[in-house]
Amino acid sequence: MEARQNLGIRSGDTVRVWQNIVELKSQKQANKKEVVSKNVRKQAFEGLVLAVKHGTEPGAMFTVRKVASGVGVEKIFPLYSPMIESVEVLRRARTRRAKLYFIRRKASRDQKRAMRKQIVMPTAEVAADTSAPAEVSAE
């Protein structure tokens, strides 16, 4: 509790959140009860902190955004959740806003701009094939 309170997570920071993921497997055997096995693994979620709500109070939350396979993914984490193993602050950034929600629109705008700059040019072979039909000689 004390360690998370002293982290001082702010908007603009890049963090890596290690969380415990619980996987449940159920197996039903013949004429017996259903057996449920529990597997716990750690998974990291690394991204930019968009917002911190309620400071370091018991109900404090922080929102982390990352881009996975070209799709923006956001997760909201309770600061003192027992499912969070640890939080690492990788990089600090100086921001002029408390909430960085504008990053959502900015990322999509930059992506669209980059796609507009890409010009699709047909290759020389494809252009030659479509311009004139090939003549077939019957010898």
Render pLDDT for 14-23 as a digit per residue (tens, 0 to 9): 999 999 998 8
CA 79 – CA 62 distance, rounded (Å): 7
Give whole-number Cα distances, 40 to 21, 24, 76, 85, 88, in Å.
Answer: 6, 9, 20, 12, 20
129 within a domain of the structure (yes/no)? no
132 within a domain of the structure (yes/no)? no
User: Residue 109's domain is classified under what CATH number?
Assistant: 2.30.30.790
136 within a domain of the structure (yes/no)? no
User: Does 85 or 29 have the greater pLDDT score?
Assistant: 85
Q: Which residue has the tokens 């002293």?
A: 6
CA 18 – CA 83 distance, rounded (Å): 9
| Overall domain count for the chain | 1
Q: How confident is the model at residue 137 (pLDDT cuts 50, 70, 90)?
A: low
State the DSSP code for 43.
E
pLDDT of residue 128: 55
Q: How confident is the model at residue 127 (pLDDT cuts 50, 70, 90)?
A: low
Q: Which domain holds residue 108?
A: 2-27+36-118
The two tokens of residue 49 are 């902190």
pLDDT of residue 113: 83
130 within a domain of the structure (yes/no)? no
133 within a domain of the structure (yes/no)? no
